[in-house]
């Protein structure tokens, strides 16, 4: 044993001697040049190339590093053996990430790439205005040389877009409203916000499934249509008009649209806006990927009281684009200096293009009160009629509140519901109230709902009969008065003919 340790000590001494001799013969500059040459030779014969993405670029945070980290969290999921878990501020989801010095394989356009999360200890720092973390973090991307252009041209941009989408979905959505009287908040913003937690989705929305799918497809085409809008020279925005009786689900539709697209909502209260200039400033302070909502537009300002220079009412609607220029004032309401022209510029003028990927939603209970200039395509591209509760919508409500499907109800009950729901003309809100009140007793809830539908249908039938009787009476009255009116007109015609010197026989 003693001889063994003696031999080991001698060997270590020889190695130390040769190390000292190597450092004397080969100075650091020569060693660095040799390593660089060997690395260059290795790269010539290697079929791979490498890209380093560090967490901190100089003293600034590298946005690409955060995007890669977020993108890989969606790919890693829970399949790895060692993962890091993260939940960001204002985030509603837990994300997974690569642990230190771990790697993962990704596929893009059929080509495989390797990501490695490299973490090393940072050397002693010199003086810096911004202290750097003790660990140096970064990602190393290994790709085949033939795919180098693919990575630089498409893959990294795809990662940035995917990361933004994941960040938007994970982040809590906000509901904004303009400050009372146009005042600014503590940060100097005209919008106040609260977390948006509305649970409405298109799955729970009581609406005809065919119409619902049309709206979902339209929203999807809009969200994925950036290249189309750029190619055609159109602003990346779209307008929706939701109209129908109260209680038909217009507000729920807006919440479902926001949850479907993961957009924020700006609820604009026009009565708190003093003039067109303030309206433009509010628009400029909205963000992209948002829904701007004006509810009950017919009650906010007078959009049909357009007058000429002689202050006489105009009976016929002219095209507003011919009558009102971009700087003209049309339809000014007493007590409110917001004009129809200002509102149209808000939705379809140059200022409406100061952001991208915006949706304008107007709601009204009386579409006939709105000016035709506001309803045309380009301002309100899609008109959605929110109707009374139909049979498909009724089945959705029964499933939402009672967990009932068509197979859970008898054929006789289903047939009776299908026949009476159209005649009843009850809104989804009224149907929901009946179901909520009796949700603990499902059979009782169905019975009371059927009874309420029948009562409503009978009331509507009586109203229709009364209306028909009134109409018949008016028609009979007009028929009796029409001969007299004809005689009076003939006598007047004869009188005017005689006054003109004619020889008309009377």
pLDDT single digits (tens) 48-59:
888 889 888 766
Q: Whole-angstrom distance between the N-terminal and C-terminal Cα of the chain?
A: 151
pLDDT of residue 205: 94
Phi, psi of 49 (to 5 degrees): -130, 160
Q: Work out whether the CA dihedral 177, 181, 182, 184 comes out positive or negative.
A: negative
pTM of the model: 0.69
Name the DSSP letter for residue 123. P
**Is the backbone of residue 290 left (phi > 0), alpha (psi -120 to 50) or beta?**
beta
Percent of the chain with pLDDT over 70: 77
pLDDT at 369: 86
Beta strands 174-178; 264-267: pairing state? parallel
- Report helix, strand and coil shares of the chain as percent, to nearest 5: 50, 20, 30
CA distance 103 to 127: 34
Q: For position 438, what pLDDT does the model report?
A: 84
- Residue 501 pLDDT: 55
State the pLDDT at residue 320: 39
Phi, psi of 244, rounded to the nearest 5 degrees? 150, 175
pLDDT band at 485 (very low <50, low <70, confident <90, very high): low
Return the CA Rg of the chain.
36
pLDDT at 464 over 70: yes
At residue 175 the predicted structure's pLDDT band, cuts being 50, 70 and 90, is very high
Q: How confident is the model at residue 186 (pLDDT cuts 50, 70, 90)?
A: low
* Averaged pLDDT for residues 198-219: 94
More confident of the two residues 334 and 65: 65
pLDDT band of residue 255 (cuts 50, 70, 90) is very high
pLDDT tens readout for residues 390-417: 999 999 999 999 988 888 888 888 999 9
- State the average pLDDT over residues 32-60: 77
Indicate the burial class of 116 (C-beta count within 10 angstroms; 0-12, 13-18, 19 or more).
Answer: middle
Residue 420: count of CB within 10 angstroms of its CB: 21
The mean predicted confidence, pLDDT, of the chain is 79
pLDDT at 331 over 50: no
Sign of the alpha-carbon torsion through 243, 245, 251, 256: negative
Q: Give the bridge partners for 120, in sequence order.
A: 136
Judge whether 194 and 200 are in contact, CB under 8 Å: no
Which tens digit of pLDDT belongs to each residue from 101-149?
778 888 888 888 888 888 887 766 555 555 666 778 889 998 988 888 8
pLDDT above 50: residue 18: yes
Residue 395 has what pLDDT?
93
Three-state DSSP at 80 gives: coil
Contact 244, 365 (CB under 8 A): yes
Mean pLDDT check: name the lowest of 65-79, 235-249, 261-275, 368-382. Answer: 65-79
- Cα distances from 18 to residues 11, 112, 422, in angstroms, run 11, 45, 98
Q: Which residue has the higher pLDDT, 265 or 34?
A: 265
Q: 365, 246 in Cβ contact below 8 A?
A: yes
Rounded to 5°, the CA angle 419-422-423 comes to 85
Neighbours of 404 (CB within 10 A): 19
pLDDT band at 439 (very low <50, low <70, confident <90, very high): confident
215-219, 363-367, 502-506, range with the lowest pLDDT: 502-506
Strand partners, 360: 239, 292
d(CA 185, CA 338): 23
């Amino acid at each position: 044993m003693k001889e063994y340790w003696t031999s080991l000590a001698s060997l270590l001494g020889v190695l130390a001697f040769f190390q000292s001799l190597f450092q004397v013969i080969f100075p650091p500059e020569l060693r660095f040049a040799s390593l660089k040459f060997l690395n260059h030779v290795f790269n010539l014969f290697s079929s791979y190339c490498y890209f380093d993405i560090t967490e901190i670029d100089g003293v600034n945070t590298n946005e690409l590093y955060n995007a890669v980290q977020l993108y890989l969290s969606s790919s890693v999921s829970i399949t790895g053996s060692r993962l890091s878990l993260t939940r960001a501020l204002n985030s509603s989801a837990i994300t997974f990430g690569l642990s230190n010095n771990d790697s993962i394989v990704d596929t893009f356009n059929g080509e495989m790439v390797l990501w490695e999360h490299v973490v090393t200890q940072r050397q002693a720092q010199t003086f810096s205005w911004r202290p750097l973390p003790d660990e140096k973090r970064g990602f190393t991307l290994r790709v085949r040389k033939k795919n180098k252009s693919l990575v630089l041209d498409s893959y990294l941009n795809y990662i940035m877009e995917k990361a933004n989408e994941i960040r938007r979905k994970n982040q809590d959505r906000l509901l904004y409203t303009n400050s009372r009287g146009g005042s600014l908040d503590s940060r100097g913003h005209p919008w106040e916000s609260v977390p948006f937690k509305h649970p409405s989705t298109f799955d729970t929305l009581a609406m005809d499934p065919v119409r619902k799918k049309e709206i979902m497809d339209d929203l999807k085409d809009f969200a994925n249509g950036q290249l189309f809008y750029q190619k055609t020279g159109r602003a990346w925005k779209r307008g929706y008009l939701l109209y129908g009786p109260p209680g038909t689900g217009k507000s729920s539709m807006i919440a479902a649209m926001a949850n479907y697209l993961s957009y924020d909502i700006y609820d604009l209260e026009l009565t708190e806006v003093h003039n067109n200039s303030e309206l433009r400033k509010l628009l400029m302070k909205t963000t992209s990927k948002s829904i701007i909502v004006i509810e009950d537009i017919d009650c906010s300002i007078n959009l049909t009281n357009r007058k000429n220079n002689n202050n006489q009412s105009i009976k016929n609607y002219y095209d507003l684009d011919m009558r009102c220029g971009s700087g003209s004032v049309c339809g000014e309401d007493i007590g409110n200096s917001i004009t129809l022209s200002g509102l149209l510029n808000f939705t379809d003028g140059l200022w409406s293009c100061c952001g991208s990927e915006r949706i304008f939603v107007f709601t009204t209970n009386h579409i006939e009160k709105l000016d035709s200039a506001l309803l045309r395509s380009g301002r309100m591209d899609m008109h959605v009629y929110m109707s009374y509760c139909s049979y498909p919508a009724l089945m959705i409500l029964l499933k939402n509140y009672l967990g009932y499907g068509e197979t859970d109800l008898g054929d006789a009950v289903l047939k009776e519901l299908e026949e009476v729901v159209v005649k009843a003309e009850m809104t989804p809100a009224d149907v929901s109230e009946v179901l909520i009140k009796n949700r603990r007793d499902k059979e009782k809830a169905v019975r009371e709902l059927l009874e309420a539908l029948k009562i409503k249908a009978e009331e509507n039938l009586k109203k229709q009969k009364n209306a028909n009787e009134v109409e018949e009476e008016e028609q009979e009255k007009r028929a009796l008065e029409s001969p007299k009116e004809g005689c009076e007109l003939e006598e007047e015609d004869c009188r005017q003919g005689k006054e003109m010197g004619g020889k008309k026989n009377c």
